Structure 1
Amino acid sequence: MNCPRCGTEIPKERMFCPKCGYAIQMVPDYELDIEESIAQTRNEMAGALDSLIGPDGQRKVSQETVRLPVLQKKVSILRKAGVFVFGIVIILLVILFGASMYYFSSSGKNVQYLQNADEAYAQGNYAEAVELYEKAFGSENGSDAPFLFNEQIQYARALHELKLDDRAVSVLHSVIEEDPENAEAYGFLIEIHKLNDDYEEINRLLAGCSDDGVFEMYKDYMTMPPDFSRAGGIYKDEIVVELSASMTGDIYYTRDGSAPSTSSELYMGPIDITEGKTTITAIFVNPHDMISKPVRITYEVKFDVPDEPEIFPVSGNYAEPEYITVSSPNAGNVYYTTDGTDPTVSSNQYTDPIPMPLGKTTMKFAAISEKGVSSPVVEKNYNLNIIGTCSSEDATAYVAASLVATGALLDIYGNVPGVDGHYKYLCTKAAKEGSRIYYIIDEYFEHPNGTLDETGTIYAVDAISCMMYRAKPGRDGRYGFSLFY
């Protein structure tokens, strides 16, 4: 049945409305079958008695007389049954009346407790309010005490004021269990959890909400951690990671594994993950400044390491120069040094065969990929000592003297008329063409501040004949020679 006051459906076993507390009066059912049976028996007895009296008013004796004892016995049984049933009905009515009076009395007492509790709460006497609410809802007033949602929520508020949040939360969960659409109970629960920073409890509460209206009302209080577009792990190339949130709010993150806050970098778009290890830690902040649990994911980008280049010739002592060649298929560009340092992309890049340096030289080679990843460094040690008629120093002096003789220089020190600075000639390598061995001399211009600029002019001197030549590297990097005069 429904409550006459508020229309709420009332379970059969309840004596009060669960919504407003209105007391329901119960009346025993009318036993129609028994009453009809008694009436029918009375009619049969009356008919039987009439058949025993004749027209003259004298009693007749007939076969019907035989039926009279049977009917009398039946009437006697029915009368006894009727009396018994009637007695039972009277007893039940008395019990129900007493129970109703008890419940009415308890209900009145509960109402008084609730009124006093509300007054105590309004006056800030929260301990007294809690005591009165518990009397109103306590087991001493019957297990069928009305479940009044508003009063239960007020009871929870009093518990909260006394910092008894665990009990307040339990009461509010009971309200929601009875009334899943009770937005006020949800709101107060969320308020308590927010004050205690129990954001995960809010997530669980709303995730289990069965009412769409309540969920829409409070979904902005959820603090679900951000989602990452890529799983953590090792990658062979640079990647992009995107962060997203299922609710309205902001995402903040760090790239060094430290704990993020609202002062950290605000996520505005995809994050580039480059070589090495990167640990992204992100949080979600909802419109109510509530922060989710951090999510930390580590990425490592490890580019493929190029194979080490193959160098020819091998390390050793040489009396005749060789061209140094490099083979590095699919390994990127090869860089080299001649001062013993490891090569970088700022070092000399190998493009053509390299004339072997004079004297003792440590050369290092490395293939470096487009991603800047270096192969293992290959080291070669060469010692080139040319046995000839003239030395490299003689060859350099011969070039300067020849240029003075032609008028290109004022003196062997490389001075020229009207120019600050002078030319300088350096011999650092040698080359071989056929059976001839040549010292290679590069021309530089030295400025007054000491800086050197390579002019691009190259000379060569035959190590045996000491003849001077002009030298020019060919397409394959090997030199060609022509007489100077």
Structure 2
Amino acid sequence: MKKSKHLKRPRHLKFIITLVVLAVLMGCVYYKYTRSFSYQYAKARQADVEKDYETAVSHYLKALETDETDVKVLCEIGDDYIKLKRPAMAEQFLLRAVKADGSYERPFQLILKLYESQGAYNKMEKIYAYATTDDVKAIFKDYLIKPPVFSQEGGDYDDDVMLTLSLPEDAEDDWQIFYTTDGKAPNGVNGHLYDGNYIYLTEGKTKVRVVCRNSNGKFGEVASETFNIEYKEPNEPTVSPNGGDFTKKTKVTITADSDCTIYYSWKNQKPDQKSKKYTKAITVPKGYHVLSVVAYDRHGLKSKTYHMSFSYYPE
């Protein structure tokens, strides 16, 4: 009997060892499975459904460890970072996606929307270089909408500006231009549809903001120019002859800037717009007189008054 019991022990020990080995093997298999791409991707997708984007990102990152260039995973990480309002991280992963596969539309769509929300149109132009198919390039048509072209640059002016706007070179014929002159956004309720006529800017500081809208009703990049208009005083009129002593009948001509009206007086007074208007050469009256002249421009600004003495005594 003792011998029989002694023989059973090895069988029992082998069974236990077998179970341990199987458990270890199953543990290794399970461990490897939980670290696999398919497992991590499935867990990430489940977290996305539950709107637990932080957890989803952590699983996507683990899935990415097995394939750093998987475009779909890069795309999903970028999308989740957008939802988490972490645009810098979203841009980082979406850029990796568009660089990895220029034919996959989704990362281009996501990053273009991100750039649009930031007004980063220069970045849109840069990633266009990574688009490799016509379908992907077509996506840019609703985002790369360049602003209208100003006929004049902003800056300092001393007279009114008659401004016109035109479509950019790559625009389609059915694009429209909207603008504002109060600094408000033109791509909303404040925008005025440009009809091709002059935008007349007068004295003061005016910020003109412009934008194009394509045939799909989408607005593009906003551009602006600021015009500082300060009218300057007209130049003094020029008188010929410029005063003097005369013994013969003499005509006096007066000239001023082209948009000015000239007024004069022989009574040594400061003439104004109620004084005599100069329309043609005037005759020097007999005796000693001081001719005073002034010019008013179309804005109602006047020049300095110019005085000169005339003496006319016929022989």
| TM-score bucket of the superposed structures, by smaller chain | 0.5 to 0.7
Which residue type is aligned with residue 127 of structure 2? Answer: L
Which residue type is aligned with residue 170 of structure 1? Answer: Q
C-alpha spacing 1:201/1:346, structure 2 compared with 1 (3 Å) = farther
Q: Which segments of 5 or more consecutive residues in structure 2 lack a partner in the other structure?
A: 1-28
Match of 1:269 in 2: 196
Partner-residue secondary structure (3-state), 2:103: coil
1:356 aligned to 2:285? Answer: yes
1:116 aligned to 2:39? Answer: no
C-alpha spacing 1:237/1:169, structure 2 compared with 1 (3 Å) = closer
1:327 aligned to 2:253? Answer: yes
Query: Could you tell me which of 154, 160, 183 is aligned with 1:259?
Result: 183
- Write the mapping of 1:84-99 to structure 2, written as runs, cut at 5 A: none
Which residue type is aligned with residue 365 of structure 1? Answer: V
- Write the mapping of 1:38-117 to structure 2, written as runs, cut at 5 A: 109-117=36-44
Match of 2:72 in 1: 150
Instruction: Give the deviation of 1:343 after TM superposition.
Output: 4.6
**Contact preservation (8 Å) 1:283, 1:293:** yes
Query: Could you tell me which of 125, 130, 137 is aligned with 2:52?
Result: 125
Question: Distance between the aligned counterparts of 2:253 and 2:146, measured in 1?
Answer: 55
> How many positions carry a matched residue from both structures?
271
Question: Distance between the aligned counterparts of 1:164 and 1:276, measured in 2?
Answer: 45
Partner-residue secondary structure (3-state), 1:309: strand
Match of 1:164 in 2: 86
Instruction: Give the deviation of 1:354 after TM superposition.
Output: 3.8
Question: Distance between the aligned counterparts of 2:297 and 2:192, measured in 1?
Answer: 32
Partner-residue secondary structure (3-state), 1:294: strand
C-alpha spacing 1:164/1:273, structure 2 compared with 1 (3 Å) = closer
Instruction: Give the deviation of 1:363 after TM superposition.
Output: 3.6
Question: Distance between the aligned counterparts of 2:311 and 2:192, measured in 1?
Answer: 57
Which residue type is aligned with residue 265 of structure 2? Answer: T
Match of 1:64 in 2: none
**Contact preservation (8 Å) 1:250, 1:284:** yes
Question: Distance between the aligned counterparts of 1:208 and 1:149, measured in 2?
Answer: 14
Instruction: Give the deviation of 1:303 after TM superposition.
Output: 11
Is the deviation greater in 110-119 or in 235-244? 235-244
Question: Distance between the aligned counterparts of 2:244 and 2:201, measured in 1?
Answer: 37
Question: Distance between the aligned counterparts of 1:275 and 1:109, measured in 2?
Answer: 69
- Write the mapping of 1:265-414 to structure 2, written as runs, cut at 5 A: 265-271=192-198, 281-286=208-213, 287-289=217-219, 291-296=221-226, 308-311=238-241, 314=244, 325-328=251-254, 335-338=263-266, 340-344=269-273, 347-351=276-280, 353-354=282-283, 356=285, 363-366=291-294, 377-380=305-308
**Contact preservation (8 Å) 1:325, 1:352:** yes
Question: Distance between the aligned counterparts of 1:115 and 1:374, measured in 2?
Answer: 81
Partner-residue secondary structure (3-state), 2:238: coil
Instruction: Give the deviation of 1:279 after TM superposition.
Output: 5.4
Provide the TM-score with structure 2 as the length reference: 0.63
Instruction: Give the deviation of 1:351 after TM superposition.
Output: 3.1
Per-residue CA shift, 1:230-280, capped at 9, x if unaligned? Answer: 4567899987543223343433142xxx52423255432243668978756
**Contact preservation (8 Å) 1:206, 1:222:** no
Instruction: Give the deviation of 1:116 after TM superposition.
Output: 1.8
**Contact preservation (8 Å) 2:163, 2:201:** no
Per-residue CA shift, 1:14-52, capped at 9, x if unaligned? Answer: xxxxxxxxxxxxxxxxxxxxxxxxxxxxxxxxxxxxxxx
Question: Distance between the aligned counterparts of 2:68 and 2:34, measured in 1?
Answer: 9
Question: Distance between the aligned counterparts of 1:208 and 1:314, measured in 2?
Answer: 81
Identity %, equivalent residues: 17
Which residue type is aligned with residue 284 of structure 1? Answer: V
Query: Could you tell me which of 74, 87, 99 is aligned with 1:177?
Result: 99
Partner-residue secondary structure (3-state), 1:251: strand
**Contact preservation (8 Å) 1:275, 1:301:** no
Instruction: Give the deviation of 1:344 after TM superposition.
Output: 4.6
Over aligned residues, Cα RMSD in angstroms?
4.7
1:137 aligned to 2:64? Answer: yes
Per-residue CA shift, 1:45-68, capped at 9, x if unaligned? Answer: xxxxxxxxxxxxxxxxxxxxxxxx
**Contact preservation (8 Å) 1:312, 1:325:** no
Question: Distance between the aligned counterparts of 1:379 and 1:369, measured in 2?
Answer: 19
Instruction: Give the deviation of 1:289 after TM superposition.
Output: 4.4
Match of 2:10 in 1: none
Provide the TM-score with structure 1 as the length reference: 0.44
Please tell me whether Structure 1 or Structure 2 has the larger radius of gyration of its CA atoms: 1
Instruction: Give the deviation of 1:373 after TM superposition.
Output: 8.9
Instruction: Give the deviation of 1:347 after TM superposition.
Output: 3.3
Question: Distance between the aligned counterparts of 1:369 and 1:220, measured in 2?
Answer: 48
Question: Distance between the aligned counterparts of 2:46 and 2:64, measured in 1?
Answer: 17
Higher relative contact order (CA 8 A, sep 6+): 2
Question: Distance between the aligned counterparts of 1:379 and 1:295, measured in 2?
Answer: 43
1:213 aligned to 2:135? Answer: yes
